[in-house]
A and B are shown apart, each in its own frame.
Chain A
Amino acid sequence: MNKTSILFAAIITFGLMAFTNHSGGIYKTNTGNINFFSHTPVEDITADNHKVKTAFDAETGKLQFSVLIKDFEFPKALMQEHFNENYMESTKYPKSTFTGTIDKMSAVNLAKDGTYKSSITGKLTMKDVTKEVSTMATFVVKGGIVNAKASFTVNPVDYHIAIPKTVAAKISNEIKINVDADYTHSH
């Protein structure tokens, strides 16, 4: 061990740190939006969650969502209570998550304003059931803020969400999920 090797180690260390700081990094928000919409001839049901936590890694394209079920807001108080109590059982399963990848991360130039598209694939977990989900997402880069929009549909039955026969006509088996988040670079 001599001074040269320490110097060498120091150069490598700070070099790596400098490198990781500049390459991509994490883009994040705690105020993403998720809306769901269930349409049937009998009734339209919609709810919004404005407290969605989501982040992606600009280098690898790794993408995550963490959603608290109780933060979904309904126009009718009773619907919100039944959603939490009967359908999602939010005390037992408080969180829904998504982990996946932005498949064409390299095609999204975060340094340049513009509109980019990429497919997203990953795993959606609700009520401890995990299913593969894939969809197209649109990224709009403007002044360092990355807006991402995507939608896909889920079938409640796939996630063990029991719907009694008496209300089956009111709840669609193709519930549309709309995602809209403004990511900013996090240091």
Chain B
Amino acid sequence: MNKILFFFILLATTKLCLAQDLDLLDEPELETIDYTTATFKTNRVVNGHSIETVAKNEFDFKISHRFGFLSGGPYDMFGLDQATMRIGGDYGITDNLNVGLGRSTVDKTYDGFVKYKFLKQSTGLKTMPVTATWISHMGITTLKWPQPDRQNYFSSRLHYTHQLLIARKFTEGLSVQLSPTLVHKNIVDSTKFKNDILSLGVGVRQKLTSRTTLNLEYYYVIPNQLEEDKTNVLSVGFDIETGGHVFQLFFTNSSGPFEKAFITDTKAKWLDGDIRFGFNIARVFNF
């Protein structure tokens, strides 16, 4: 008998509670697909591309400088007397598909690329551990032919780089990227050297504040593909984001502002003090 009474009391109170409680704030959120954003501050780690793409109809104007060696000392103003530069930009055809063009002082090179983000890191309804982007670059060297008398082919001016960029934002602060890379040169100095050069890039970024990050980038070139005096490129960078601009200040041992140059043409060694200061300035315009 008591149990029956208890049952009614329980029913009455629960019903009352249900009817009166406004419990919106404790309600679980509907599960959605949460895409990871801002794995990197901008679409370059230091020298090389990051998985980031510019949004649709946005143009990211970029100016990059790499100065001379710090080891030049005060006579060379620690390298500031010399500089290589690239001027160019990335454009978003869609949020995931970008194209870019640039012109570098290094070997008077024009470069262009197509970049496509085909996987996006996400949590929630759909779990994807990484973001992945494919990028194919082409470069045209427009230096005067060193031997104009011999038969020269336009194709000898061309080089290509293909990269698979895979990145994961592990925490709010830490992102890591792996970049398997193939550089193809149409012409090399000797049959001893490879036309197709394989390398693996590693990029790490750690957020210092909400607007600044520390970046590390290293490209490991698999041995016995290049001339013996070539070395791997190592860069340490510092990103400052100010709203519309991202300033990337860095130290690197390469003067090359495009892939083929910094991956396969780097000779300077950090241990010899042959380090260059450089910066990228990125400014995004909306259309």
Is B242 a contact of A164 with CB atoms below 8 Å?
yes
- Report the separation of the CA atoms of residues A9 and B12 in the bound assembly, to the nearest whole angstrom: 9
Pick the contact of A57 from B2, B20, B58, B95 — CB < 8 Å? Answer: B20
Interface-lining segment among A81-89, A126-134, A150-158: A81-89
What residue of chain B has the Cβ atom nearest to residue A85's Cβ?
Answer: B38
Residue picked from B5, B34, B242, B284, most chain A C-beta under 10 Å: B5
Contact A20 B286 (CB under 8 A): no
Chain A-chain B contacts (Cβ-Cβ < 8 Å), number: 90
Contact A66 B242 (CB under 8 A): no
Q: Given A16-B15, A66-B25, do A86 and B55 touch, yes or no (CB 8 Å)?
A: no
Contact B24 A66 (CB under 8 A): yes
Instruction: Chain A residues near B29: list those with CB within 8 A.
Output: 68
Q: Is B243 an interface residue when CB atoms closer than 8 A count as contact?
A: yes
Contacts of B55 in A (CB 8 A): 76-78
Q: B210 at interface (Cβ–Cβ under 8 A)?
A: yes
Residues of B within 8 A of A166 (CB): 242-243
- The CB with the most chain B CB atoms within 10 A, among A82, A92, A97, A164, is that of A82
Taking the closest CB of chain B, its distance from the CB of A174, in whole angstroms, is 20
- Write out the residue numbers on chain A whose beta carbons fall within 8 Å of the beta carbon of B186: none
Contact mask for chain A residues 81-107; partner B; CB cutoff 8 A; 1 contact, 0 none:
110111001011000010100000000
Given contacts A9-B5, A81-B37, A92-B172, contact A20 B242 (CB under 8 A): no
Complex formed: what's the CA distance from A9 to B4 in Å?
Answer: 9
Give bound CA distance, A116 to B15, whole Å. 30
Residues of A within 8 A of B284 (CB): 78
Contact status B12-A86, CB under 8 Å: no
Cβ-defined partner of B37 (8 Å) among A13, A56, A85, A164? A85
B143 at the interface (CB under 8 A from A): no
Contact A167 B12, beta carbon cutoff 8 Å: no
Knowing A166-B242, A167-B243, the reply to whether A54 touches B24 (Cβ < 8 A) is yes
Chain A contact patch, size range: 35 or more
B residues less than 8 Å from A84 (CB atoms): 37-38
The answer, among A5, A65, A70, for a CB contact under 8 Å with B5, is A5
Contact between chains at A9 and B8 (CB < 8 Å): yes
**B residues 13-49 in Cβ contact with A at 8 Å:** 15-16, 19-20, 22, 24-25, 27, 29-30, 34, 37-38
Contacting A6 at CB < 8 Å: which of B4, B20, B244? B4
Q: Which of A64, A70, A85 contacts B25 (CB 8 A)?
A: A64
B210, A85: Cβ atoms under 8 Å?
yes
Name the distance in Å between A92's Cβ and chain B's nearest Cβ: 7
- The B119-171 residues at the A interface (CB cut-off 8 A) are none
Is A62 part of the binding interface, using a Cβ–Cβ cutoff of 8 Å? yes
B9 touches A9 (CB 8 A): yes
Interface flag for A21 (CB, 8 Å) = yes
- Measured CB to CB, the closest approach of chain B to A101, in angstroms, equals 11
Cβ contacts under 8 Å, A59 to chain B: 20
Pick from A56, A57, A66, A170: contact of B243, CB below 8 A.
A170
Residue of B11, B24, B242 near A13 (CB, 8 A) is: B11
Instruction: Give the 10 A-B residue pairs with the shortest CB-CB distance, closest first.
Output: A77-B55, A20-B19, A1-B1, A13-B12, A64-B24, A9-B8, A86-B210, A13-B8, A17-B15, A167-B243
Query: Can you pick out 19 interface pairs between chain A and chain B where the beta carbons lie within 8 Å of each other?
Result: A1-B1, A1-B5, A16-B12, A16-B15, A17-B12, A20-B20, A54-B24, A56-B22, A76-B58, A77-B55, A77-B95, A82-B243, A85-B210, A86-B210, A86-B211, A89-B210, A164-B211, A167-B242, A167-B243
Residues of chain B having any CB pair with chain A under 8 Å: 1-2, 4-5, 8-9, 11-12, 15-16, 19-20, 22, 24-25, 27, 29-30, 34, 37-38, 55-56, 58, 95, 172, 210-211, 241-244, 284, 286
With A77-B55, A78-B58 known, 6 other A-B pairs at CB within 8 A are A13-B12, A21-B19, A53-B24, A54-B24, A81-B38, A166-B242
